[in-house]
Amino acid sequence: MIKREWIHAWLLLAPALLLLFAFTHLPAVQTVFDSFWSTPRGRRPAVFVGLDNYQRMLADPIFIKAMVNNAIYALITIPASIALALSMALFVSGKIRGRGTLRMAYFTPTVLPLIAVANIWLFFYLPGFGLFDQIRGLFGFGPINWVGQPTTALYAITAVTIWNQAGFFMIFFLAALQTIPESLREAAALEGASRWTIFWRITWPLIMPTTLFVSVNATINAFRMVDHVFIMTQGGPNNASILLLYYIYDQGFRFWDTAYAATLTVVMVAILCVVGIGQFFLLDRRVHYR
Q: Which residues bind another protein (CB under 8 A)?
A: 181, 183-184, 186-193, 197, 201-202, 205-206, 288, 290
Task: Give the Cα separation of 116 and 62 in Å (integer).
Answer: 28
Task: Give the Cα separation of 199 and 164 in Å (integer).
Answer: 26
Closer CB to another protein, 40 or 209, in the complex: 209
Judge contact between 168 and 117, C-beta under 8 A. no
**Dihedral over alpha carbons 71, 74, 80, 84 (to 10 degrees):** 170
Task: Give the Cα separation of 231 and 160 in Å (integer).
Answer: 12
Q: What does the DSSP 8-state code read for residue 288?
A: -
Phi, psi at residue 285, to the nearest 5°? -75, -25
Q: CB of 172: closest distance to another protein in angstroms?
A: 19
Closer CB to another protein, 5 or 191, in the complex: 191
Closer CB to another protein, 6 or 289, in the complex: 289
Closer CB to another protein, 8 or 284, in the complex: 284
Task: Give the Cα separation of 95 and 182 in Å (integer).
Answer: 13
Q: CB of 48: closest distance to another protein in angstroms?
A: 54
Q: CB of 93: closest distance to another protein in angstroms?
A: 18
- Which amino acid is residue 65, in one-letter code? K
Q: CB of 288: closest distance to another protein in angstroms?
A: 4
Q: CB of 203: closest distance to another protein in angstroms?
A: 10
| E strand or H helix at 228 | helix 227-232
Closer CB to another protein, 126 or 202, in the complex: 202
